[in-house]
Structure 1
Amino acid sequence: MSSEFNNEEESPGFMLWQVTNLWQKAIRNALDPFELTHPQFVLLFSCKWLNERSDHTGITQVQLAQHAQMDVNVTSQVVRTLEKKGYIERRPHPTDSRANMISVTKAGDEVASKAVQAVEREDRAFFSSLGHEVGDMNRLLRQLAKR
């Protein structure tokens, strides 16, 4: 059985795989000084971002998972780790006994604010070769994300 593609550069899936691996390596290196994994960073910063938009009333774990487009069980494990690190805290939801409200601690806010600068700096460097076409790439990625 052979591929319909003449070479690997014709396969969008394979190219996405390669670029994703290169980008993830760059992001891992950017996050190393903060002792955060990429999923930890995404959930910590997402929690900070969502809380800032909800007047710091807290968000649920389900809301956090949905925002990050991450599996609820994986989100639960990462949230537990972030809580052990002292970066987030959970408290009972005021109206839903099955849910907890998640908010970022002062230490979590500080590390998230510093880490996002490193991640965004790495993003700019990584995607700089696209120049003004980065907007086109974002548009295409948004289109794929709506699937």
Structure 2
Amino acid sequence: MSSKYSNAEESPGFMLWQVTNIWQKAIRKALDPFELTHPQFVLLFSCKWLNEKNDHSGITQVQLAQHAQMDVNVTSQVLRTLEKKGYIERRPHPTDSRANVISVTKSGDVIASQAVRAVEEEDRAFFSDLGDDIGLLNRILKRLANH
């Protein structure tokens, strides 16, 4: 055998892969009524959330990509789609000529608010079997994210 694991369930990477795929399928289904992909939702809601935290002063694409832990080029492509849908606006940054300030439109705010309720409801259902262990899972995931 070419693996040190005698069965697949012993591999944390494989288990994370399986759980991630199952969870992503559930999230895709929750987002279908809003005609948003998961990356579109993450960036749209992150943009809304970060702007609210920053008194609606706008955020840059780099700030958004860093927050979502997403590649800057992928972020740019997704933002282009969200802009075409009328959910975000980009305007020149007041002090950095290379950057744009990204803000959420009224329709983007509405769809983000509706979609986050559906996503959070799906998360509650998906992770409900964990009960009190949800806090432990979040701590472990945070450690991995900060790796």
Scaled to the shorter chain, the TM-score interval is: over 0.9
AA at the equivalent of 1:44? L
AA at the equivalent of 1:36? L
Provide the TM-score with structure 1 as the length reference: 0.99
Whether 1:141 and 2:141 are equivalent positions in the alignment is yes
AA at the equivalent of 1:117? R
Match of 1:64 in 2: 64
Provide the TM-score with structure 2 as the length reference: 0.99
Mapped to 2, the partners of 1:146 and 1:42 lie a distance apart of 19
Match of 1:49 in 2: 49
AA at the equivalent of 2:50? L
AA at the equivalent of 1:28? R
Match of 2:74 in 1: 74
Q: What is the DSSP-based 3-state SS (H/G/I as helix, E as strand, rest coil) of the residue aligned with 1:97?
A: coil
Match of 1:109 in 2: 109
Give 1:98 deviation, angstroms. 0.5
Give 1:129 deviation, angstroms. 0.6
Q: What is the DSSP-based 3-state SS (H/G/I as helix, E as strand, rest coil) of the residue aligned with 1:138?
A: helix
Q: Which runs of 4+ in 1 moved over 6 A?
A: none
Provide the identity percentage.
Answer: 81
Unaligned runs of 5+ in 2: none
Give 1:75 deviation, angstroms. 0.1
Mapped to 2, the partners of 1:106 and 1:130 lie a distance apart of 36
Mapped to 1, the partners of 2:136 and 2:130 lie a distance apart of 9
Mapped to 1, the partners of 2:144 and 2:101 lie a distance apart of 31
Give 1:2 deviation, angstroms. 1.7
Give 1:50 deviation, angstroms. 0.2
Q: What is the DSSP-based 3-state SS (H/G/I as helix, E as strand, rest coil) of the residue aligned with 1:75?
A: helix
Mapped to 2, the partners of 1:90 and 1:53 lie a distance apart of 18
1:6-55 C-alpha deviation (Å, 9 max, x unpaired): 10110000000000000000000000000000000000000000000110
Mapped to 1, the partners of 2:13 and 2:137 lie a distance apart of 15
AA at the equivalent of 1:37? T
The Cα RMSD (Å) is 0.5
Mapped to 2, the partners of 1:122 and 1:131 lie a distance apart of 15
